[in-house]
Structure 1
Amino acid sequence: MLGMIARGGQCSLKLCSNVRQTTFQPWITKVIQQGSTVNTYEYSIYTRLPAWGYVHVTVNHSEGEYARDADGHGVNEVHVNTMEGLWSLLRSSLRPYRGISQRFLPLCIGFSRAMHNIRQCGHSLLGPLLSLLLTSAP
Structure 2
Amino acid sequence: MGLNLSNEQIGQEWGLNKDDAQRMTSPLRMGIVAVQAEPTLSGEVECDEVSVVAGHKGHPEAVKKGRQGRRRRLKGARGRGTLEKEKPPIFGMLQRGGEVMVRMLANVQQPTLKPLILGIIAPGTTVYTDEYDIYARLPEWGYGHKTVCHSRGEYARDEDGDGFHEVHVNTMEGFWSLLRSWLRPHRGLSQEKLPLYLGFFQFVHNARIRGKGLLKPLLHALLA
User: Structures share a fold, TM > 0.5?
Assistant: yes
Q: 1:16 aligns with which of 78, 93, 105?
A: 105
Q: 1:31 aligns with which of 109, 120, 125?
A: 120
CA distance in 2, matches of 1:125, 1:26: 32
Q: Which runs of 5+ in 1 are unaligned?
A: none
Within-5 A mapping of 1:59-74: 59-74=148-163
- The amino acid that maps onto 1:96 is P
CA distance in 2, matches of 1:103, 1:133: 22
- The amino acid that maps onto 1:101 is S
- The amino acid that maps onto 2:114 is Q
SS at match of 2:185: helix
RMSD across aligned C-alpha pairs, in angstroms? 1.1
The question of 1:121 aligning with 2:121 is answered no
Q: 2:168 aligns with which of 79, 84, 93?
A: 79
Answer 1 or 2: which has greater helix percent.
1
Aligned to 2:198: 109
- The amino acid that maps onto 1:87 is W
- The amino acid that maps onto 1:127 is K
Aligned to 2:221: 132
Aligned to 2:48: none
Q: Which runs of 5+ in 2 are unaligned?
A: 1-89
- The amino acid that maps onto 1:51 is E
Aligned to 1:88: 177
Cα distance, 1:91 vs structure 2: 1.1
CA distance in 2, matches of 1:43, 1:134: 42
Aligned to 1:54: 143
Cα distance, 1:134 vs structure 2: 2.4
Larger Rg: 2
| Cα deviation digits, residues 95-137 of structure 1 (max 9, x gap) | 23333111210111001111110010112111111112224xx
96-105 or 21-30, larger mean C-alpha shift: 96-105
- The amino acid that maps onto 2:100 is C
